[in-house]
Amino acid sequence: MTTFWIICALLLAVAVLFVVLPLWRSAAKDNHVLRDAANLEIFRDQIDEMDADLRNGLLTPELYEQGKRELQSRVLEEVKTTGSPAGALVRNPHKALALALTVLIPLLAVGLYWKIGNRDAFLPQTGQSAAGGMGTARSDAALKELEDKVAQNPQDTDSLAMLARSYVEQERYVDGAKAYNKLTQLIPNNAQLWADFADALAMASNQNLAGHPTILLNKALELDPNNPKALALGGSAAMGRGDYAAAIKYWEHLLKLIPGDSEDAKMIAQGIEQARGAMAQGKGGKPMAAQPASEKNAVAAGQERITGTVTLSDAIKAQAGPNDTLFVLARATEGPPMPLAVIRKQVKDLPLQFTLDDSMSMSPQMKLSNFDKVVLIARISKSGDPMPHPGDMQGMSATIKPGSNGVKLSIDNMVK
């Protein structure tokens, strides 16, 4: 970063010299001397004419002397009015402008960069904070350097948070869960960290939210009942264990926190309806096993596999970084918002040939083979969070059936 600022200072100095030096060297032209010379030349011409008139008898000696005195007086008056006092310096306005630009150019350049530039662009992918920074180590060398940094200073929560996110980004979920475990011990009152811990642990447990991940989600919601990620995963965990009342409670709360016209809001609303329908089928008011939206049409296990290709539209390609997180997931068109299958990659893997099947489900009850209509979503997440955020990019398929092959997904719109 120091090198970057040194280079900027040198370039700025060159720019200032390029503009200021010519102004400083330019001299203000003094036209008074030229004007006096012109007046003297006119005076000489008029004296010559009067001399000729005197010789030719056109002027009397008296008129000649009178005219000559008048010309002399006029010339002296012109020189006195336009001339500069003896020894007075002629002011150069170009030098004043050069001095002003010497100050203004650096101020404007630094101010403009501070306003619209990225001051962290040359930092080695550091996290913003343990609570909410989104930085990750995006190469093996950077990850090794980060691991060494954490080993030398285990109390450095910013580096530890970045390391945990980096592990998850690279699908090293066991290592990510371990890092989040240490982090929640150092910062026990941060709900987002507990939710991230639950997510990493579930991914390490074959995408299973039951058991310890649910305990972690409950901890997150104790600290922050409005944490979107904890609410979304908490509802999915409740749906997976057949506790529909809890799922409804979580998702109704989440529905109040997100834009009502978003695709996720629609999915969550459908999930709430599905949970209510499943709850109504329960016996004795007790939750029953989750029922698929269309069980009679559900495909046989092993025939649910969906294959396809994800591409990124040229119109928004420039806004995606090669190491941004890419999620490809399947959701039931009439059911809970919990993904039925999900894979996690990076933008640099595009175009991506993908396969979704029951082995990627997050609970036994929420599998592709249990539903007859699904929709596929491909989302580029700037934060690495599966929940959509403004600035993310995504594309969505039409309604398809499990077992479809050759599905084409184009990421072509921004999340607002």
Q: What would the DSSP string read from start to end of 21-86?
A: HHHHHPPPP--HHHHHHHHHHHHHHHHHHHHHHHHTTSS-HHHHHHHHHHHHHHHHHHHHHHSPPT
What number is the average pLDDT over the span 339-347?
Answer: 87
What number is the average pLDDT over the span 55-60?
Answer: 79
Give the residue carrying structure tokens 């400083």.
24
pLDDT score recorded for residue 303: 82
Spatial separation of the C-alpha atoms in residues 195 and 197, rounded to whole Å: 5
pLDDT score recorded for residue 36: 63
Residue 304 class from Cβ within 10 Å (0-12 exposed, 13-18 middle, 19+ buried)? buried
Coil, strand or helix at 267: helix
What number is the average pLDDT over the span 133-143?
Answer: 72
For 100-127, how does the pLDDT look when each residue is reduced to its tens digit (9 = 90+)? 878 888 888 888 877 776 554 554 443 3
Query: Would you say 166 and 137 are in contact if contact means Cβ atoms under 8 Å apart?
Result: yes
What number is the average pLDDT over the span 54-70?
Answer: 80
Lowest mean pLDDT among 254-258, 271-275, 394-398: 271-275
Sign of the Cα pseudo-torsion (20, 21, 24, 25, in order)? negative
Q: In sequence order, what E strands does 242-364 have?
A: 306-312, 325-332, 341-346, 352-356
Residues 6+ apart with CB under 8 A from 41: none
Answer whether CATH 1.25.40.10 is correct for domain 140-280: yes
Coil, strand or helix at 308: strand
What number is the average pLDDT over the span 314-341?
Answer: 85
pLDDT score recorded for residue 396: 92
Which phi and psi (to 5°) does residue 44 adopt?
Answer: -65, -40
Residues 6+ apart with CB under 8 A from 346: 169, 322, 323, 324, 325, 326
pLDDT score recorded for residue 34: 55
pLDDT score recorded for residue 117: 66
CB atoms within 10 A of CB 307: 14
Check residues 287 and 224 and name the one with the higher pLDDT. 224
Check residues 414 and 73 and name the one with the higher pLDDT. 414
For 156-169, how does the pLDDT look when each residue is reduced to its tens digit (9 = 90+)? 999 999 999 989 88
Spatial separation of the C-alpha atoms in residues 200 and 100, rounded to whole Å: 57
Q: State how beta strands 341-346 and 393-396 pair.
A: unpaired
338 confidence band (pLDDT: 50, 70, 90): confident
Domain boundaries, the chain: 2-28+92-116, 32-82, 140-280, 295-414
Tokens of 179: 């890092």
pLDDT at 350 over 90: yes
Pick the CATH number of 295-414 from 3.90.420.10, 3.40.190.10, 2.60.40.1120, 1.10.390.10: 2.60.40.1120
For 258-312, how does the pLDDT look when each residue is reduced to its tens digit (9 = 90+)? 888 877 788 888 888 878 887 877 633 344 444 444 444 555 556 889 999 999 9
Highest mean pLDDT among 41-50, 281-290, 387-396: 387-396
Q: What global pTM score does this model have?
A: 0.52
Cα separations (Å) of 35 from 39, 367, 382?
Answer: 6, 97, 71
For 74-97, how does the pLDDT look when each residue is reduced to its tens digit (9 = 90+)? 777 766 555 445 444 455 667 778
For 178-199, how does the pLDDT look when each residue is reduced to its tens digit (9 = 90+)? 999 999 999 999 999 999 999 9
pLDDT score recorded for residue 155: 92
The number of C-alpha atoms within 13 Å of 223 and in the hemisphere containing its C-beta is 19
Same fold, 140-280 and 295-414: no
**H/E element holding 147?**
helix 140-152
